[in-house]
Structure formats: structure tokens, C-alpha cells
Chains A and B, each alone.
Chain A
Amino acid sequence: MNESELINILDSIVRNSAPLIIAVTGETITERSGVVNLSLDGTMLMAAMLGFVVGLESGNVWLGFLAGATIGAFFAFIIAFGSIRLRQNQVAIGFVLALLGNDLSAFLGQNYTRIPGPVVQHFGIPILKDIPIIGPILFDQDLVVYFAFVLVFISWWYLNRTQQGLHLRGAGERPEAAFARGVHVNRVRYLYTIIGGALVGIAGASYSLDIKIGWSEGHTEGLGWIALAIVIFGGWSPIGGALGALLFGATKALVTVLQRTFPEVPVVTFNALPWVLMIAVLLLAGSNALERLVRIMPESIQPSLRRLLRVQPPLALGTTFDEE
């Protein structure tokens, strides 16, 4: 394997991971505020379908993304409203929405399957894209990919370095304490559930308009569940989540290479890999292996490393809070 081939592979890993990174970041924000949006699989299917249809009919990809974000925000709103205002079970609502999104997208998109549509244009960043090795991998992509990476760093900064981020985390960790400090816990939860949902919608639209262009029934099926697992693997941190998504993308790229090298192995064996990986990754997140890894590192970087690899779920995740 020569250098340009390796760069090609890395380039495709970065490109193909972008939507997953956006979805994982969105869900991470939602869960850090204490709400679980389990509808990701259905939301992404709906957004992929609607994004494609709107993009095709209007001839403008960005309107497609807007449509995806809107439906994502709407699904998230149903979950927030159901769990906060109506005090019903958010896991049940999310699960039903995941199934419903699947059926609904198949029905609404039935006349739009397998036809060409608009695509996001390639956009290399001048000067930066000419840096050897890094340039073609990171700066010779399109706006969706740049958005994914900028989003990860902005979310990390927002969560950990701003007053609003502190309120967000407070709502997810210790809602009573946050409320006593004047944080409107439920308002905060509404806000970040909806923002997170909109991001998941953008991720869904990124598939049909950029990475896996077009629409077909069950276009992104399974990816929403993988995104939910990566949130856990990433330890509820945007950076950890992005690394998890990249790792997932790298494994898929590795599978493609292996498939070419060992054509005698049945394809289904490789199809099983993402799911085996999902279980392995969750086992790793649930074990003490990461904590042990932190302990053998130099003491000075231990606290920041632990923050980066944080594997404790937000304490109040999935609970309701009475503002009385």
C-alpha cells in the first residue's frame, strides 16, 4: 500500500464519519442535560428522506438540511414534551418514534427512491489543503465535514467553559442543586433536547445529500442505534464521541480493505463486524479498563485524561424533575 492510497483511505474515513460525528454530538448534548432521545434511528431516517425530497424539489441542498434539522427538532420536541410536561416514559416514547420514523420515512419517501438528486459540493480550503498529508485528509473535504469537526470543538468548549454549559450539565447531573441556583432545569432540558435533535436531523440529511447520496427505504437503518452506542463509548463527551465515530469509520474502511484482500471470506462475516464491535465497545465502556489506563499515565495529565475518557453517565439521565 503506497502513500497516496493510505491518504485516500484516511480521507474516506474522515468523510464517512462526519454524519455520525454530528449525530453523536447532538445526542451527547441532549443526554448531558438529562434527557435520553432514543429515537435516533427513526429521526435520522426521516431527516434523510425529508432532506433529500426538499433538496430535490427546491434544488437547494441547504434547504434540505434545514428540513432535516426541523424534523429532528420536532421528534426531539415530542420526547421532551412527553417526558417533561406529560411525565411519561421517555425511553418508551423514543423507542416508538424510532420505529415510527422507519415506517413513516418508507411511506412518505415511496415516490423518491433511487433517483438522482442534489449533492453537497466539494469545497477545499485554499492554502490549508496543500499541506502535505493533513491537507488532503482534513482540509480538502466539503462543508458538512468541516461543520462536524467545528461542532465537536464548539460543543466541548460550550459544555466545559461557559456558564450556559454549566447550567446544561447541572440539569443533567444534579437538577435540584441547579434549580436552587436559579437554573430553569426543564427549560434547559427542552432547549438542549431540541438542539440535539436538530443536529441529529442534520446528520440524517448529510447521508442522503452527501455521504450516501439519494434515498431508498431504510437508507440509514441501524446507524442511529450505533450513534447511541457511541455516545456511551465516548463517555458523554463530544471529543470522546467524535473519536468513537472515527474509530467506527476506520473499522468499516478496514473491512473494505480486508474484503478486497480475502475475497473468499463471505461478505456476511464482514457485515457482522459493526455489531460485534458495538458490543465490544460497550463492554469496554462498562469495564474498568479505561480507568486503569488512566492510572498508569503520568500523574500530571491524569485529571484531564479522566475528564476526556469520562465514562460515568450524567447522574440524572432519564429522570424527571419537578420545579416546585
Chain B
Amino acid sequence: MNRIRALSWPQILQWLWPFVPAIAALLFTSVLLLIFDTTPAVAFEAIFDGALGDAAKRLSVMAFWVPLLLSSTGLIITFRAGLWNIGVEGQIILGAIAASWVALKLDAPGPLLIGVELILAMSAGALWAALVAVLKTRGRVHEIFGGLALNFLAIILTNYLISGPWQPPEGGTFRGTAPFQDKALLPLFENSRFSPLSLVLAFAALALVIIALRGTFWGLKLKALGKNTYSAYLLGVSSEREIILAMMFCGALAGLGGAVRTLSWFDSLRQSISGGIGFLALLVVMLANYNIYAVPVIALFFAAVRVGSIPLQLRTQLHSSLGGILTGVMVLFVLLFGDARKLGIGRGRPAEEKGAPEVSGSGLDPFSKEIVKGD
């Protein structure tokens, strides 16, 4: 008796609360589907079936998951440093471009070629990210805007390469370059687009970030920077150096993700080489509440929804953006209502911060408050 009474309503509510945004997002999408005369169950089943229906589809989800996981892992670092790396999308694209350059122009034994591709892809992503960082630290251009402009420029660069210098010999279809030589592609699992090697690399990156954040002084410095730029300065953290390093780290992982996209998901450089994976990664990290241990699971879920939405148009005549809506609404609901205690549901004061980076603190101010420099 006592044990049953101990579970009071507020406690039950608090325990169930994390599921409410997910259910709300499903309800919202269901209403949309009803407007379009589609039975929600049919559409959701189509997404589910499109993602997990058979082994080939499940492998597709895995293949989509890897670059998403790589980018999200990198974003954990930039968020920890209090940076909004919206430029991650462009960093993925630059990685893909660099890998494509190697695949198209160089000739070497397979393993060496792939090694060079991956290293150059990481460097290109890191450099594109460094550009955003330097624009911020030296030019006082907020990383959101620097990153966005560089995203659009990366897309334009891809289109230029595809329709110009890297046009396939049989004429420009404006859709992609000619397929790369076979040995330049990542070894694939059976007949899928999934490369086991890329998953190993993604897990290695994940482990590296966990160690960096938990066990190194660098992780501590990033945290200080993200929480409070000024006190980080008092602690002797060079904000400029850490900002550039954090951005480059994330850019390198995103660039690697871009290489995985072009060398396993596709076999050539395509117009939509990233396909919004960078933006999706930002949503993954937000939904994970900046917690790295939640990132792989949420990224896998997002990959399943995204891949599952692709055949939606064929099966239900509905636009495939439905998957984006489902995930976007879910993140929005979590951002708004995720913290039950802030709403006054359940007992206790609002949670201050549970190890997650202070997102509304000085470090993440939307417009460049001047970074404290040593003079």
C-alpha cells in the first residue's frame, strides 16, 4: 500500500515527461497527414517499413547513420565551447569535395588512396571550419552567419565543379561527376552502401571525444570557455586558440563524414552531397541535450526516420519532407517543454544545469559580444 501511494501523480508525470514531446510530435504529424487525406498509420508504417523493412534497408540506415554520427560527435565539442557551428553542413561538403578530388585526380594502390582521401577530407573540413573561427575571433563575425555564408558557398562550389571542371566526359547532367575508380571507394558490406570501416572510424571519434571531454585539460578549457568567456580568460584560457581548435576538430570530423558520403553512400560527387546531414546533426545534439552518450542512439533514430521517408513519395504520394517535420517538431517540443521542472510540473526547483553546456550563457550570445582578449 505504502509503496503504491509513494508514487504520487507529480512523480509519475515527471517520469513520463520525456515521452510527451515524442507523442506530441507524432500527433502533430498525424494531423498533417489527415489534412492530406492519408491515414497516419499508413504513412508511419511506410516510414517504418522503409527504414527497417529488410536487411538492405537496415544497412542503408547504418550507412546514413555514420556521417550523421561523425558530425554530431564533432558538434558536441563546439557546443561545449559555446559555439554554434551551423557551418557544419559546409564542412561536410568540403570534405566530400576534397575526397572527390583525390579519387578523380590521383592514382595509387587502394589502401593508400583511401588513406589520402580521408586525411585530405578531414583537412578540408577543418580548414573550412577554421575560416568560420577566424572570422569570429578576428573579424567579429558571429559563427552562425559566417558558417551559413560558407555553407552556401560550399554548395555553389560543388555545383561549379560538377558543371565545370569535373563534368563527366559524356556531358553535364548537372547531377554529379563520373563515378570514381573502384579502388578509390570505401570497401562496402555485401551489396549495400554501408562501409564497416567508416563505422569503426566513427566509433573511434566518439571514444576520442568522450576521453577528451572527461579526461583532458583541453576538455576542461572548452567547458570553461562555453560557460563563461570572461572567467575562462581569467583562468588563462586563450579563447581565440580554443575557439579555432574546437571548430577545426568538429570540421575534421564533419569532413570525414563528407568523405564517407561521397565514397560509400554515393560513388561520385553529387549536387546534394550532404543532403542536410549537418543541420540534422545539430538537431541530434540538441535533442540529446548536449549529452554525448545519447548522441549515437538519437542519431540512429534520426537516420532511420530520414531513410524511411525516402520511399514515402512512391508509396503514399506524399512529400518526403514529412520525416524532417517529424524530427523537427520533436526537437522543438523537447526544447520548449523538455524540462518538466521548469514548467513547474513535479516537485523541486528548476534544474540549474546538469553538466550540459550553458546554452543561453554569454558564450552563446546570439550576436558577437566581444571576446575578451588579453590586453
Interface residues of A (CB under 8 A from B): 36, 38, 78, 81-82, 86-93, 95-97, 99-100, 102-104, 106-108, 110, 222, 225, 228-229, 232, 266, 268-269, 271-272, 274-276, 278-279, 282-283, 286-287, 313, 317-320
Q: How many whole Å from A277's CB to the nearest CB in chain B?
A: 9
- Residue in A82, A86, A269 whose Cβ sees the most chain B Cβ within 10 Å: A86
Identify which of B139, B157, B364 contacts A283 (C-beta below 8 A). B139
Cβ–Cβ < 8 Å partners of A86 in chain B: 336-337, 342-343
CB–CB B153/A275 < 8 A: yes
Q: Please choose the segment from B185-193, B201-209, B319-327 that sits at the chain A interface, where 4 or more of its residues have CB less than 8 A away.
A: B319-327
Indicate whether A266 sits within 8 Å of B164 (C-beta atoms), given known contacts A282-B139, A318-B366.
yes
Cβ–Cβ < 8 Å partners of B319 in chain A: 106-107, 110
Interface residues of B in 289-348 (CB under 8 A from A): 318-319, 321-322, 324-325, 328-329, 331-332, 335-337, 339, 342-343
Distance, CA A269 to CA B324, complexed state (A): 31
In the complex formed, the residue of B with least CB distance to A42 is B328
CB–CB A318/B365 < 8 A: yes
Distance, CA A90 to CA B367, complexed state (A): 12
Q: How many whole Å from A259's CB to the nearest CB in chain B?
A: 15
CB–CB B328/A96 < 8 A: yes
Interface residues of B in 261-279 (CB under 8 A from A): 279
In the complex formed, the residue of A with least CB distance to B136 is A286
Identify which of B145, B146, B156, B342 contacts A87 (C-beta below 8 A). B342
Indicate whether A318 sits within 8 Å of B367 (C-beta atoms), given known contacts A275-B152, A286-B140.
yes
30 CB < 8 A contacts A-B: A36-B366, A36-B367, A82-B336, A87-B350, A88-B339, A88-B342, A95-B84, A97-B332, A99-B324, A99-B328, A100-B329, A102-B321, A102-B324, A107-B32, A107-B318, A107-B319, A110-B319, A222-B152, A232-B142, A266-B164, A268-B163, A271-B159, A272-B157, A276-B153, A279-B141, A279-B145, A279-B150, A282-B135, A287-B140, A318-B360
CB–CB A103/B325 < 8 A: yes
CB–CB B135/A93 < 8 A: no
Q: Provide the B115-154 mask, 1 if CB < 8 A to any CB of A, else 0.
A: 0000000000000000000010001111011101110110
CB–CB B159/A91 < 8 A: no
Cβ–Cβ < 8 Å partners of B224 in chain A: none
CB–CB B331/A279 < 8 A: no
CB–CB A96/B335 < 8 A: yes
Cβ–Cβ < 8 Å partners of A282 in chain B: 135, 139, 141-142, 145-146
CB–CB B159/A268 < 8 A: yes
Identify which of A81, A95, A107 contacts B325 (C-beta below 8 A). A107
Cβ–Cβ < 8 Å partners of A110 in chain B: 318-319
B282 at the interface (CB under 8 A from A): yes
Distance, CA A88 to CA B360, complexed state (A): 8
CB–CB A232/B367 < 8 A: yes
Indicate whether A88 sits within 8 Å of B336 (C-beta atoms), given known contacts A100-B329, A282-B139.
yes
CB–CB B328/A286 < 8 A: no
Cβ–Cβ < 8 Å partners of A99 in chain B: 279, 283, 324, 328
- Residue in A266, A272, A276 whose Cβ sees the most chain B Cβ within 10 Å: A272
Identify which of B156, B286, B360, B365 contacts A96 (C-beta below 8 A). B286
Majority SS at the chain B contact face: helix
Q: How many whole Å from A103's CB to the nearest CB in chain B?
A: 4
CB–CB A279/B343 < 8 A: no
Q: How many whole Å from A235's CB to the nearest CB in chain B?
A: 12
Cβ–Cβ < 8 Å partners of B367 in chain A: 36, 232, 313, 317-318
- Residue in B32, B86, B335 whose Cβ sees the most chain A Cβ within 10 Å: B335
Identify which of B86, B321, B366 contacts A106 (C-beta below 8 A). B321
B160 at the interface (CB under 8 A from A): yes
CB–CB B336/A287 < 8 A: no
Distance, CA A313 to CA B368, complexed state (A): 9
In the complex formed, the residue of B with least CB distance to A269 is B160
B359 at the interface (CB under 8 A from A): yes
Interface residues of B in 235-257 (CB under 8 A from A): none
Cβ–Cβ < 8 Å partners of A102 in chain B: 321, 324
- Residue in B135, B139, B279 whose Cβ sees the most chain A Cβ within 10 Å: B139
CB–CB A100/B325 < 8 A: yes
- 10 closest Cβ pairs, A-B complex: A286-B140, A103-B324, A100-B328, A268-B160, A103-B321, A275-B149, A318-B366, A106-B321, A36-B366, A282-B141
Identify which of A95, A225, A318 contacts B145 (C-beta below 8 A). A225
Distance, CA A229 to CA B145, complexed state (A): 7
CB–CB B145/A88 < 8 A: no
Q: How many whole Å from A38's CB to the nearest CB in chain B?
A: 7
Cβ–Cβ < 8 Å partners of A274 in chain B: 152
Cβ–Cβ < 8 Å partners of A78 in chain B: 332, 336
Distance, CA A279 to CA B156, complexed state (A): 15
Distance, CA A279 to CA B152, complexed state (A): 12
Distance, CA A86 to CA B334, complexed state (A): 12
Distance, CA A222 to CA B322, complexed state (A): 21
CB–CB B156/A317 < 8 A: no
Distance, CA A75 to CA B166, complexed state (A): 42
Cβ–Cβ < 8 Å partners of B283 in chain A: 96, 99
- Residue in B149, B150, B332 whose Cβ sees the most chain A Cβ within 10 Å: B149
Q: How many whole Å from B333's CB to the nearest CB in chain A?
A: 10
Indicate whether A317 sits within 8 Å of B365 (C-beta atoms), given known contacts A110-B319, A279-B149.
yes
5 additional A-B residue pairs with CB within 8 Å, beyond A96-B328, A282-B135: A78-B332, A89-B364, A91-B84, A96-B331, A104-B321
Distance, CA A273 to CA B141, complexed state (A): 18
Distance, CA A9 to CA B35, complexed state (A): 44
